[in-house]
Amino acid sequence: MSLFRSAKVVFAAVIAANVVAAAASTSAHPIAQQDTGCRVPVYGAIGSKWQALRAQYGPLGCPTSPEGGRDNGRAQSFDHGEIVWSADQGPVANWAVDHTIYSDWGPTHPYRFFIVHWDDLRGHVDQRDITPDPGGTTGRAQTPHPFGDGKYEVRVEGCDKDLGGAACHGWSVRSWVRIPQAGTTPPPAPPPHIAVQPDGGGAFTVSGGEFLPSAAVHARAVYDNGLDPNLPERRFEISADRDGNFRFPTGPICHGARTVHFSASDGRSNPNDLTGWLWSNTVHEPC
């Protein structure tokens, strides 16, 4: 193959990769700004990763600039870090709290292990081999105050074989974070809440909001017949949508109870509750 033809092939491959990267991230509809309270919209795979990290209430905060191209993928900056995306490594979120850098990546192709690389851009480099979460498509890492204050470049690479004989698949898009991050404590998330609508015949419709996006929600209906001090209960396993909302009908559930007490939890912890979970408000409905 001639040198000219080889150059044309390489150029075409680069263009194709950039087109695929842009299409994968920006072709999706933006997350509604009125739902997040942030001024800059978030799209596609980067937006999904941001929502999975509790959006503006999570460690990244709100986006500070629109998504754009970087290296062979996409990148977007947030109050306290960045999310980048590439075809091999998927979305990678990096942020700093005080003097610690955190990284959270996936979903990716399944890999045997990941390499996380930190570079302070002043000649100090560190990296760590991370065993992935079950399934091999996600992982997390953190490094406390690696080489002092300043700007850091963070990259992640997935590898298929054991250490010493690794077949790795290229670094993620470069991402930058700065430490220390003063005032990075995110605002408290609104507590989850529910409402209950009687449907007649001992049936109800329960709706909820401010739960974690796409979370498994445990709803309970506690029966009160005015006699039994050990109140029986019925549990419902439901899923919140991408905005943290849900709505589901219970069907007839009264079964002789005078009152049913409804509440729900997405599994967040609350050390002040006897169950250890953060529960919504409790709604009391007569049968």
pLDDT in tens, 126-168: 888 888 777 778 888 888 766 777 889 999 998 886 555 568 8
φ/ψ (deg, to 5) at 223: -85, 140
Report yes or no: 143 and 118 within 8 Å, Cβ to Cβ: yes
pLDDT of residue 29: 55
Question: Mean pLDDT across the chain, nearest whole number?
Answer: 79
Clarify whether residues 30 and 100 are in a common domain: yes
pLDDT of residue 154: 93
pLDDT of residue 265: 93
pLDDT at residue 94 greater than cutoff 90: yes
Residue numbers of the domain that contains 208: 193-286
Report yes or no: 108 and 93 within 8 Å, Cβ to Cβ: no
pLDDT at residue 30 greater than cutoff 90: no
Clarify whether residues 164 and 198 are in a common domain: no
Instruction: Answer left, alpha or beta for residue 93, where phi above 0 means left and psi between -120 and 50 means alpha.
Output: beta
Question: Of the candidates 179, 205, 240, which is a domain's last residue?
Answer: 179
Clarify whether residues 131 and 256 are in a common domain: no
pLDDT of residue 4: 31
Clarify whether residues 110 and 225 are in a common domain: no
In the block, residue with structure tokens 């002092």? 148
Q: What span, in angstroms and rounded, lies between the C-alpha atoms of 113 and 129? A: 7
Concatenated DSSP letters for 129-187?
EEPPSTTSS-EEEEEESSSSSEEEEEEEEEE-S-TTS--EEEEPPPEEEEE-BTT-PPP
Of 26-35, 82-91, 244-253, the poorest mean pLDDT is in: 26-35
Judge whether 186 lies within some domain: no
CATH code of residue 263? 2.60.40.10
pTM over cut 0.75: no
Give residues with Cβ within 8 angstroms of 179, minimum separation 6.
Answer: 96, 98, 99, 100, 101, 145, 149, 150, 152
Question: Of the candidates 179, 207, 226, which is a domain's last residue?
Answer: 179
Provide the token pair at 93. 């979120």
pLDDT band at 191, cuts 50/70/90? Answer: confident
Clarify whether residues 31 and 108 are in a common domain: yes
pLDDT of residue 218: 92
Tally of structural domains, the chain: 2
Q: What span, in angstroms and rounded, lies between the C-alpha atoms of 245 and 190? A: 13
pLDDT at residue 54 greater than cutoff 60: yes
Clarify whether residues 124 and 260 are in a common domain: no
Per residue in 257-281, pLDDT (tens digit) is 789 999 999 888 777 777 778 899 9
Clarify whether residues 28 and 98 are in a common domain: yes
pLDDT of residue 268: 82
Report yes or no: 286 and 258 within 8 Å, Cβ to Cβ: yes
Per residue in 196-242, pLDDT (tens digit) is 999 999 999 999 998 888 888 999 998 887 655 566 788 999 999 87
Specify the amino acid at residue 94: N
Question: Of the candidates 119, 151, 179, which is a domain's last residue?
Answer: 179
Q: What three-state secondary structure class fits 235?
A: strand
